[in-house]
Amino acid sequence: MVVALVGGCAAVAWPAASRLVPRNGGHPVGDRMWSWVFLGLLAAAFATYVWAVLAAARGRIPVRVAVGLAVAIQLVPLAAPLLLSTDAWTYWDYARIAAVHGGNPYVDVPAAFPLDPAFARMGTSWHDTTSVYGPAFTLASEPLALVSGGSHALAAWLYKALAALGMVGAAVLAARLSRRPALAAVVVGWSPLLAIHAAGAGHNDAWVGALLLAALAAAASRRPLLAGAGWAVVALVKWVPLVLLSLRLLAVRDALPAVRRRAVTGFAAAAAVVVGLALWRYGWHWLGAFGPLARNADNETSFSIPHRLGQLGVPHGLAIALPLVVLAAVAVPLVRGAVRGQARLGLASLLLLLCSPLLAPWYLLWATPLAAAEDDGPAIVLALVLSAYLLRQTVPL
């Protein structure tokens, strides 16, 4: 049922009047009817997904069925055009600045190349902003820019395909790591929201989710060298895993010295390779990605808790501070748990998202797999609640 409903979501994006495909720099154009149909199908798929999660928690779904359908659900949105977001075309533009124009995406803004085919497709809010993504992602994006040439459709499909593969990998790895593999595969792989924002929209957060779980799987299989390398690479795709790494380091601080040394060696070696390539391509300017990232974090999305508090009349500064105070309070038991060997990375990720002024559904592409892999009941429930809350966000009604 979830496969069919997600397939319906993909189908209603194709009519010329559909607002689901981002146009005009991300500003929706078209008939709202298709958006309402899309949201109805997505809501029905999500309700079915929640039922499946409950069934899997009771042991009623075999592992093979859970994994097989997870693969199908995560691949179905590849049949749709790019959905709901221009981010994939933004990645494409930054990659073309380096690969095609010989510029530096950490120095040159997209507006410096207004005739580039990606410029008209990317989100207008990024026209005058340098890249906020880590050098590992930018380096990986350059070959994609060369392969796609000037085709916006091919560029979108490449990012969609890689995101879909990332979510399939995350579902399989979550099942491997969890004590209840069928439940983990369903929580990650059967989620229509994750499918729409990965294979549908091509968000690079799917890369983050897959790499984080790959690092955890490597550690679980006693391959600390690969685990350390995985943490280094994912941190150089996006910066947020560094917060999770601090909890992870507390949880494994009692590991054998030889294991710690191999993990550190893997981290250092992978970081050296990526940083060396980044210095060659972008100089030290890639460190400047923290600047636009910090400025972007100052913006509030309409579904964030600080924004909701502001709507209730709470002063802006207090609306930002209150969630941070709550986060600081819950960080204490999280740190204590990590010291006792239980990092609870999924729960930490979800709480971080709840307190952030910049909340978007695609961030669940890495938070949900962590919760499922750790078989953390409260974190899984929170992931479901947050998914339901964010179901409507980005749908252009």
Structure confidence at residue 298 (pLDDT): 53
DSSP 173-219: HHHHHSSSHHHHHHHHHT-HHHHIIIIIT--THHHHHHHHHHHHHHH
Structure confidence at residue 97 (pLDDT): 94
Structure-block tokens of residue 203: 């968000």
CA distances in angstroms from 317 to 258, 292, 320, 324, 351, listed in the order given:
47, 21, 5, 11, 20
Among 196, 197, 192, 213, residue whose Cα is nearest residue 52: 192
Lookup result for tokens 């959905």: 83
Structure confidence at residue 25 (pLDDT): 65
Contacts of 208 (CB under 8 A, 6+ apart): 234, 237, 238, 240, 241, 365, 366
Report if residue 17 sits inside a domain. Answer: yes
Report if residue 94 sits inside a domain. Answer: no
- 313 Cα distance to chain centroid: 31
Q: Count the alpha carbons within 13 Å of 334 in the hemisphere toward its beta carbon.
A: 23
Report if residue 24 sits inside a domain. Answer: yes
Report if residue 357 sits inside a domain. Answer: yes
Number of domains present in the structure of the chain: 1
CA distances in angstroms from 246 to 33, 209, 268, listed in the order given:
46, 17, 16
Q: Give the chain's residues under pLDDT 70.
A: 24-27, 255-256, 290-300
Contacts of 158 (CB under 8 A, 6+ apart): 144, 147, 148
* Total Cβ atoms within 10 A of residue 40: 14
Report if residue 289 sits inside a domain. Answer: yes
Between CA 164 and CA 160, with CA 40 as vertex, the angle to 5 degrees is: 15
Long-range (24+ apart) CB contacts under 8 A made by 56-63 are: 56/180, 56/182, 56/183, 56/185, 56/186, 56/187, 57/180, 57/183, 59/180, 59/182, 61/182, 61/186, 62/182, 63/175, 63/181, 63/182, 63/185
Structure confidence at residue 49 (pLDDT): 97
Structure confidence at residue 292 (pLDDT): 54
CB contact at 8 A, 184 and 71: no
3-state secondary structure of 167: helix
Structure confidence at residue 26 (pLDDT): 61
Structure confidence at residue 41 (pLDDT): 95
| Confidence (pTM) | 0.90
CA distances in angstroms from 138 to 8, 32, 75, 277, listed in the order given:
33, 35, 24, 11
Spell 365-383 as b/e; 16+ CB within 10 A means b.
Answer: bbbbbbbbbbbbeebbebb
3-state secondary structure of 18: strand
Q: For residue 244, give its domain range.
A: 2-85+154-390
